[in-house]
Amino acid sequence: QIKKLSFTERGKLCTNQMTKKLFGIMEEKKSNLVVSADFTQSQQILELVDKVGPHVCMVKTHIDIVEDFSQDFITKLLQMAQKHKFLLFEDRKYADIGNTVKLQYNNGIYHVSSWADIINAHCISGLGVLAALKQIGLEKNKGCLLVAEMSSTGNMITAEYTAATVKLAEENKDFVIGFICQNRLSDDPTLLHLTPGVQLKKGSDDLGQQYLTPEEVISKRGNDVIIVGRGITQSADVINTAIAYKQSAYNAYCQLLQ
Ligand code: 5BU
């Protein structure tokens, strides 16, 4: 049986300010739900986050799928984040050599480092990717999640790769706040386990995505946070569906409290 500390207790143990902040939001809003706002029009994203904002601890973006990107959109997104008290996570999965990811994180048209609280990375290219992201993110008090496992069928991540990623996270807790994963990978209560590939019913899509239920992800597998995209965004009743996911993930976590 997996046992967990409360979000508040875990927050108290954190020296990383971003993790502390996130645990604070999770406790206050009783939410370990992240919504993945995978729309291509900025207005759709803003409408979605205004609806689900009160129920999520974080909104996940793929900024490079937005067709009408503008600085004004970012300004409005940041206003929403403040209004509803959630963090912004850009799911860019940086994976290149250090020098390139540094440019991708800081430059281009998106200037991700100027607005995203949290980003993520694949450490496939070695230590440089993390060192580079840290050079920019650390002084801005940003956080980074490492992709340690994936939800998609046939993904090529091996157990050795996952273990090496966990080690990197544990050694870089000034910047790394946890993992994107499918299973609980570390006993360290200050590292977060966030899991995508979640719907209320187990299943799959037609392009390799695999879904587990919130209960499976949180209470059986011991992860902390669910990341839900289409399960919420494609629902006819976005608000009540978000509430259903929030409650199911939160109740599942509460069952594990020591
Ligand atoms: P869905 O609509 O709930 O299937 O969306 C899942 C989101 O999580 C989507 O934005 C993916 O890019 C993201 N994701 C994922 O599905 N699986 C993974 O292993 C990782 C990210 Br890492």
In which band, very low, low, confident or very high, does the pLDDT at 226 lie, cut at 50, 70 and 90?
Answer: very high
pTM over 0.95: yes
Dig out the tokens for 233 from the structure. Answer: 């965004």
Tell me, in angstroms, the distance from the centre of ligand 1 to residue 215's CA. 18
- pLDDT for 165 beyond 90: yes
Output the ligand 1 site: residues, CB below 6 A.
Answer: 36, 38, 62, 91, 147, 150-152, 180, 196-197, 209, 227-231
Number of residues in the chain: 258
- Please tell me the predicted confidence (pLDDT) of residue 27: 98
- pLDDT for 147 beyond 90: yes
Annotated catalytic residue, options 30, 51, 85, 96: 96
Q: What is the mean pLDDT of residues 113-140?
A: 98
| Residues 163 and 146: beta-carbon distance below 8 Å | no
Q: What is the mean pLDDT of the chain?
A: 98
Convert the chain into a string of H (helix), E (strand) and C (coil): CCCECCHHHHHHHCCCHHHHHHHHHHHHHCCCEEEECCCCCHHHHHHHHHHHHHHCCEEEECHHHCCCCCHHHHHHHHHHHHHHCCEEEEEEEECCCHHHHHHHHHCCCCCHHHCCCEEEECHHHCHHHHHHHHHHHCCCCCEEEEECCCCCCCCCCCHHHHHHHHHHHHHCCCCEEEEECCCCCCCCCCCEEEECCECCCCEECCCCCEEECHHHHHHHCCCCEEEECHHHHCCCCHHHHHHHHHHHHHHHHHCCEC
Q: If you take atom 13 of ligand 1, which residue's CA is the nearest one?
A: 196
- pLDDT for 258 beyond 90: no
**246 assigned ligand-binding residue:** no
Residue owning tokens 């060192």: 131
| Residue 167 annotated in active site | no
Q: What is the mean pLDDT of residues 97-125?
A: 98
| Residue 96 annotated in active site | yes
Annotated catalytic residue, options 30, 93, 173, 220: 93
- pLDDT for 1 beyond 90: no
Annotated catalytic residue, options 4, 21, 29, 91: 91
- Please tell me the predicted confidence (pLDDT) of residue 34: 99
